[in-house]
Amino acid sequence: MEPQQWSMRKSKLLWLICMVLIITGGASVAVAHYMDSIVSDVTLNDNGYVVQIQTTEKTVKELLDKYEITLGPGDEINPGPEEEIVDGSEIKIHRAFKVTIAADGNIKSVYLTQGTIKDALEKAYIVLGEKDFVNYGLDQQAAPGDHIKVTRVKEEVLVETEKIPYRIVTKENNKLKKGTEKVVQEGKEGEKERKILIAYHDGVEVGREVVEERISKEPEDRVIDKGTYVAPPVSRGSTTRSKNSSQGSTSSKTSSKQTESSKTSSSQTANKSTKTFTATAYTHTGNRTRTGKWPKPGMIAVDPNVIPLGTKVYVEFSGKWSYLTGYYIAEDTGGAIKGYIIDVFMDDKNTVREFGRRKVKVSY
């Protein structure tokens, strides 16, 4: 081939190669521009776990589906699943945690991403009554696994009535013949009214407290005149006078005994009922009594079905414990205090241990 022809062909080949390179370079630039237009840089924050993603998906849902990211009950995502993705988008997922609530015999589950115990109750549509309470503070932050217990409190007032026996009053009447009696006034029983506040937790009685006690009807004494008149004897000398004097002395002694008997009978009528109880002892527990007071000496725990709360009783101890004998107020109850058992409060643990369990007499 002639040198001139070869030079021309070489020039054409170089020109062709240049054209190919120009075309190829242009296509690459076009492809690069196209890719830039469809690929978005996205920041995904899944409950604190942050990753950077380059994606061609157009919506948040498509991105979640591609990477198999699922949302659980109560989970929150921003922007929403149907929102479009743009370059520089930041997707935040707040994962919810489960809280259970027991109320009114039912158990509900709610899911929160954040909030207080009060927020959890509101989400479960649970409304607290004035005296209802829960096992957490309402302003406390809820946490995963919390089990909230709602206790419903109901109070009612029970009115009890108690008969008050009348007294028998005997009066001497020197206008009535000795040995005769006359009813001057018939006795009438009185009536005492006691108001007891009963508290229920979820329908179960947990305590009783006497909130008011009054005499609604005063008793009326039964009044009896007892004759003391003795006709004077006919005087027939010293012997007769001696006999009369002896009779007068005997009459005086008889009258004195009868009066004393009347007083004893009246005293017995006023006495309280006395029963034998089993006594135990307890000391400070860090809790208030059932009536809401801090325990102190002079208080006892009782079965309110036997001795109502607030009752003042007289407890008689024997032996070395007789120094404890005196009046006590029924202020507390206890799971083991059933029937004729009382639990005596003492300040000292060693004394409680030594006291143990023993019999006492209780008047109430």
53 strand-pairing partners: 42
What local confidence, expressed as pLDDT, does residue 149 receive?
96
- CA quadruple 107, 112, 117, 122: dihedral sign: negative
What local confidence, expressed as pLDDT, does residue 21 receive?
60
Q: Tokens representing 302?
A: 């009782």
- CA quadruple 77, 78, 83, 87: dihedral sign: negative
Separation CA 295–CA 287 (nearest Å): 8
Model confidence, pTM: 0.45
Instruction: Say yes or no to pLDDT of 34 above 80.
Output: no
- CA quadruple 243, 245, 251, 256: dihedral sign: negative
Average pLDDT over residues 59-64: 92
Q: What are the C-alpha distances in Å from 179 to residues 176, 184, 186, 228?
A: 8, 16, 20, 7
Q: List, edge to edge, every strand of the sheet that includes 49-55.
A: 49-55, 40-46, 90-94, 76-78
Separation CA 361–CA 106 (nearest Å): 47
Cβ–Cβ under 8 Å, residues 305 and 275: no
Instruction: Say yes or no to pLDDT of 268 above 50.
Output: no
Mean pLDDT, the chain, as a whole number?
84
* Confidence band of 257 (pLDDT split at 50, 70, 90): very low
Cβ–Cβ under 8 Å, residues 100 and 131: no
Average pLDDT over residues 257-263: 42
What local confidence, expressed as pLDDT, does residue 240 receive?
39
- CA quadruple 103, 104, 107, 112: dihedral sign: negative
Q: Which residue has the higher pLDDT, 195 or 36?
A: 195
* Confidence band of 243 (pLDDT split at 50, 70, 90): very low
pLDDT tens track for 190-221: 999 999 999 999 999 999 999 999 999 999 99
From 165, 302, 144, select the one nearest 222 (Cα to Cα): 165
3-state helix, strand, coil in the chain (%, to 5): 25, 40, 35
pLDDT tens track for 80-116: 999 999 999 999 999 999 999 999 999 999 999 999 9
From 235, 307, 267, 38, select the one nearest 168 (Cα to Cα): 267
Q: What are the C-alpha distances in Å from 337 to residues 301, 305, 306?
A: 7, 11, 10
* Confidence band of 362 (pLDDT split at 50, 70, 90): very high
Cβ–Cβ under 8 Å, residues 323 and 361: no
pLDDT tens track for 317-347: 999 999 999 999 999 999 889 999 999 999 9
What local confidence, expressed as pLDDT, does residue 49 receive?
92
What local confidence, expressed as pLDDT, does residue 31 receive?
45
What b/e string do you get for 81-106 counting C-beta neighbours within 10 Å, with b at 16 or more?
eeeebeeebebebbbbbebebbbeee
pLDDT tens track for 63-86: 999 889 999 998 999 999 999 999
Q: How many CB atoms lie within 10 A of CB 309?
A: 22
Of the chain, the percentage scoring pLDDT greater than 90 comes to 70
HSE (side-chain half, CA atoms, 13 Å) at 291:
21
* Confidence band of 32 (pLDDT split at 50, 70, 90): very low
Q: Which residue has the higher pLDDT, 328 or 261?
A: 328
Separation CA 158–CA 210 (nearest Å): 9
From 85, 83, 80, 95, select the one nearest 49 (Cα to Cα): 95
* Confidence band of 254 (pLDDT split at 50, 70, 90): very low
What local confidence, expressed as pLDDT, does residue 234 receive?
52
pLDDT tens track for 215-239: 999 999 999 999 999 887 654 444 4
Average pLDDT over residues 132-152: 95
What local confidence, expressed as pLDDT, does residue 95 receive?
95
HSE (side-chain half, CA atoms, 13 Å) at 119:
14
Q: How many CB atoms lie within 10 A of CB 60?
A: 23
